Amino acid sequence: MKRRKLLFSLAFSASLAITTLAGCGNQEAATDGSDGESASKTLVMATSPDYPPYEFYETAGGEGEPIGFDIDIAKYITEQLGYELEVSGMDFNGIIPALQSERADFAMAGMTPTEERKQNVDFSDIYYEAKNTIVTKKDAGFDSFAALKDKKVGVQLGATQQEAAQTAAKEVGGFKIEPRNKISELIQEVKAGRIDAAVVEDTVAKGYVQNNPDLELSTVENAEAAGSAIAFPKGSELTPEFNRVLEEMKTNGEMDKLIQKWFEEYYEKSGQE
């Protein structure tokens, strides 16, 4: 599948001018209120489409709708529950504020349910587990946090990787943490040598490394769990509904099908492993 490969490379290629999807902001997020009458309601999902294969744009220009693992899960769940789905793209750091101000009904962005976040939003059950990696230039020799002492280490602003890097920096005697809004910017800066490494989740890092042969990755141990869950405004009535469908997806094979599609077949199609 040539086209897939091209699209995938484009999605990973650096300096993606990812723009916010139209529809965010001026559209009223559907909230609870009228119970039962869910048939024609549109749910707005906040996401940060810089995270292949979870969510990303197929084109370098960022036009069209984001696709990916999270988007397919969201489509399945909303369809099962009789809602329409609208996907609203934004920086990762803007997702929790979007939920708090009810500009979105839920969020899926490979988001880890941390204790800190739980004070501001509710989470579904975890639907996928992940590990962190360090992405560096090939043969740079930075295969652990210890090797990065006094170096520059990039992280996505507001992501759990920022905290993981802070903890590691203390443990190894210090390095400079460089937060950026988008994963694509981090990758670009590693390639350009402006930062020495970026801390990125394994499934996502794997795709970028596959498409950028000048990069490599090393897996690091997570201090805390790093799974993904769906986030909701506090007290949302959607949380139990979504959990019910997530559970169904785990038992009826749908989740395995999507894991297979986005974490296995997708890499095989898009690179030569």
* Residue whose C-alpha is closest to residue 191's, from 151, 152, 235, 138: 138
Coil vs helix vs strand at 131: coil
- Any alpha helices (H) in the chain, and if so which ranges? 2-12, 69-81, 95-100, 115-118, 160-172, 183-192, 202-211, 238-251, 254-259, 266-270
Distance in angstroms between the alpha carbons of the first and the last residue of the chain: 15
Site track 167-196 with ligand ARG (rule: CB under 6 A), x = hit: ----------------x-------------
**51 part of the interface to ligand ARG, by CB under 6 A:** yes
Out of 50, 58, 122, 254, the residue judged to bind ligand ARG by CB under 6 A: 50
In the complex, minimum distance from the CB of residue 37 to ligand ARG, in angstroms, rounded to a whole number: 32
- Cα-based distances in Å from 112 to 26, 130, 271: 28, 9, 28
State in angstroms the smallest separation of the CB of 35 from ligand ARG.
31
Q: Which is nearer to ligand ARG, 39 or 185 (CB)?
A: 185
Name which of 163 and 248 has its Cβ closer to ligand ARG.
163
Closest distance between ligand ARG and the C-beta of residue 253, in Å?
25
The β-bridge partners of 67 are 56
Among 12, 69, 92, 208, binds ligand ARG (CB under 6 A): 92
Choose among 71, 54, 9, 17: nearest CA to 181. Answer: 17
| Count of Cβ atoms closer than 10 Å to residue 196 Cβ | 22
Kindly tell me which residue out of 48, 124, 211, 270 binds ligand ARG, with binding defined by CB under 6 A. Answer: 48
Classify the C-alpha dihedral 227-228-230-232 as positive or negative. positive
| Range in contact with ligand ARG (rule: CB under 6 A) among 49-57, 138-146, 169-177, 239-247 | 49-57
Asked if 159 touches ligand ARG (CB under 6 A), the answer is: yes
Identify the helix (H) or strand (E) that includes residue 230.
Answer: strand 228-233
Q: Is 156 in the site for ligand ARG (CB under 6 A)?
A: yes
Total residues at interface with ligand ARG (CB under 6 A): 16
111 binds ligand ARG (CB under 6 A): yes
Q: What is the contact surface with ligand ARG in residues (CB under 6 A)?
A: 48, 50-51, 54-55, 92, 109-112, 156, 159-160, 183, 201, 226
